[in-house]
Structure 1
């Protein structure tokens, strides 16, 4: 066999890289020594399955950073929504039956008791990690990348946002109470054992519930929907709008003002996630919004359970106050994130 070397350029591998000088060439004898740290990986056996490819695309922004087969979101998203509805329905039915047997609760009573609030919040809280786990496994991505990417998640960032948003939501609630107290959940102030139970349950479980919804809708559903489009901007638009519409619909309000508010709320949370490249900001806003609303609702429920009425007529132009607050929160996130980047 001839060992004559030609002056032709070195061969390239399938992605266009020139082999390192330390790597053995095809012309070397089979017995040539090879350094242990430069030995090539053994070729895959013929017919063996290829190594799984990660669904994470680091070249795309957070919210549109997944690459996976088009049919996978069609399985994951409906499955998660069905699981959420079934879990909430089953837990609610169990609590109603328990309270009917123990306290003689009227099955048509729509008020939310402390136990009812606890199971509803924990049921939604459980959906968040489930959505992240399922999406990470199916897309073959690290679960952390669905919470923040390409940066790492930051507790400090979340606490900063929580402090700012608590003041913002408080101002919005005060303005709404002056304009329309019923829209702000302001009724008769009273403190009973039910009131204390509702406040405690709200403080302990509402942050988990709000975080669970953000993990589900902005952590999993938004990038799953965006994965259907390769162009970045249309992908972000699709993911943000579609996930926000679904978020609004699952709140099951038939009032146009309330339905619009929920959709805009979801869109603002999606914008915060994209701007900040993670979920700390939307989780912080969602937590402070729900927590303050539930605590105020418990304190001004006349000593009884909380009533959440989303029927026609329960919304109105006063919802524009909350919509403006959501938009202001997005602006604050943009300003803060801009100040943090070099």
Structure 2
């Protein structure tokens, strides 16, 4: 019986063409080649965990190694130093356009004199923190193989509706918080000369600046520290402590009440990230706080004191007020997360089942 999928059984072998062979490859004459064997390595394990995990445990996948947080630290530092070169661009352009006689001194003063920060320096300051977003994503992607979108949340993307819900609950809280501060301690200095330009820059860049700090001080730190600990609670506690200490110290004030007030935001953001499975809630709190502070200091007065520095002093009342506001904000966010059934655990990654096998390789692909 002839093969229904092959040429007719009585078709001639050679050499004249036969119309019944149309559409079939021509026959190959000679002995069949010897087929050697090649090696097919086993499929690579996934980068994400194979079991549902909360955000701080997201890097504890099959590819986890104890030394990867150290490598990620070195890489993040290198990437940030490289990206920080962008902060020089705004003052450099402004200096060249306005024809500053001593361009080097102008660049140095613009980038370092926070007490007399103008529009150009404000742009540069924001850019220096915005670059933390690609720094965080790239360092984790390169070292761990985890896609950048998973740095934002366990679902692998930015949940815009959830961010909007967080803003709805925290904005009224910060209106009262900042408004109370203005009533009890009104600014003594008038608004800056370039207040319109500063307000426009603030609207565009300050939310991104706050997001940059959240991506690094919450996202990068929680993920890397959490990858070292098998117990989720230990990873969360240690990561939160590290985040709060580094975030407070980065602002430069040695005052204990200032450090404590800043740490309130760090702790609230870490707990919100853990509970909600992403950075959106922390970004909402951080951005709203910074925007309202800048609206007051730019539009009313006190711009020179808007940024925390080595001479910034606080009070126990300010610390207690910050503790209460961030605690209430955290409670509201947790309530909304429970009400909406927000996903806070990752989807288990698929485990490949392909074993290492030997397979035949075509002879013409083998190097003699």
TM range (shorter): 0.7 to 0.9
State the Cα deviation string for residues 166-194 of structure 1 (Å, max 9, x = none). 2111110112223333xxxx3344474x1
CA distance in 2, matches of 1:309, 1:220: 23
Give the secondary structure class of the aligned counterpart of 1:145: helix
CA distance in 2, matches of 1:224, 1:252: 24
Cα distance change on mapping 1:166 and 1:244 into 2, 3 Å = same
Provide TM-score, normalisation by structure 2.
0.70
Q: CA deviation at 1:77?
A: 2.7
CA distance in 1, matches of 2:126, 2:284: 16
- The two structures, once aligned, show a CA RMSD in angstroms of 3.2
CA contact under 8 A between 2:228 and 2:235: conserved in structure 1?
yes
Cα distance change on mapping 1:244 and 1:305 into 2, 3 Å = closer
CA distance in 1, matches of 2:319, 2:69: 33
Report what 1:308 is aligned to: 307
Give the secondary structure class of the aligned counterpart of 2:264: helix
Of residues 81-90 and 116-125 in structure 1, the stretch that sits farther from structure 2 once superposed is 81-90
Which of 26, 39, 52 is equivalent to 1:59?
52
Q: CA deviation at 1:330?
A: 0.6
Alignment: residue pair count: 293
CA contact under 8 A between 2:88 and 2:124: conserved in structure 1?
yes
Provide TM-score, normalisation by structure 1.
0.75
Q: CA deviation at 1:55?
A: 4.0
Report what 1:25 is aligned to: none
Bigger Cα Rg: 2
Which of 117, 121, 127 is equivalent to 1:116?
121
State the Cα deviation string for residues 104-134 of structure 1 (Å, max 9, x = none). 9794853211111111112211211221122
Bigger relative contact order (CA 8 A; separation at least 6):
2
Report what 2:65 is aligned to: 69
Cα distance change on mapping 1:87 and 1:141 into 2, 3 Å = closer
Q: CA deviation at 1:155?
A: 0.7
Pairing of 1:1-342 with structure 2 (within 5 A): 45=39, 48=41, 51-56=44-49, 58-67=51-60, 68-81=64-77, 84=80, 91=87, 95=91, 98=95, 101=100, 107=109, 109=113, 110-150=115-155, 153-181=158-186, 186-190=187-191, 192=193, 194-301=194-301, 308-312=307-311, 314-317=313-316, 318-341=318-341
Q: CA deviation at 1:337?
A: 0.8
CA distance in 1, matches of 2:123, 2:196: 13
CA distance in 1, matches of 2:38, 2:175: 61
CA distance in 1, matches of 2:300, 2:205: 19
Unaligned runs of 5+ in 2: 1-36, 343-368
Cα distance change on mapping 1:327 and 1:278 into 2, 3 Å = same
Cα distance change on mapping 1:57 and 1:73 into 2, 3 Å = farther
CA distance in 1, matches of 2:296, 2:82: 29
CA contact under 8 A between 1:195 and 1:305: conserved in structure 2?
no
CA contact under 8 A between 2:245 and 2:263: conserved in structure 1?
yes
CA contact under 8 A between 1:63 and 1:218: conserved in structure 2?
no
Give the secondary structure class of the aligned counterpart of 1:66: coil
